[in-house]
Structure 1
């Protein structure tokens, strides 16, 4: 793992970090890691099942059925 050093942080911000860490039962360093992970999206990748489950139900298959006019040549690449 890498090490990250942040300089020039206002003391009031550091104090709020310490208070938030204490409220969450973590060290200030662990709280800092959690904040960074949340802000930057963390490392969680959704599974295919999660992605598919998140697709909204927008109708029945018949709603999207293509109607072909009589006498019209079948269009394969549309």
Structure 2
């Protein structure tokens, strides 16, 4: 569990890499409310174009991945 203070919470971010869906967005909203941390849903079929900040956490949905996508994200 995160120990989040007001000054640190702005720099922390969670990236959920999965297929965009209602369920993924609901989970992201739940994590945002629970942890008071920004959570973004990123399409697993598209590479990240920006560098991640220090303190970012990446959640990779292996259940929707395949060998081709694993090669892209490895």
Greater C-alpha Rg: 1
> Normalized against structure 2, the TM-score is what?
0.29
Higher helix share: 1
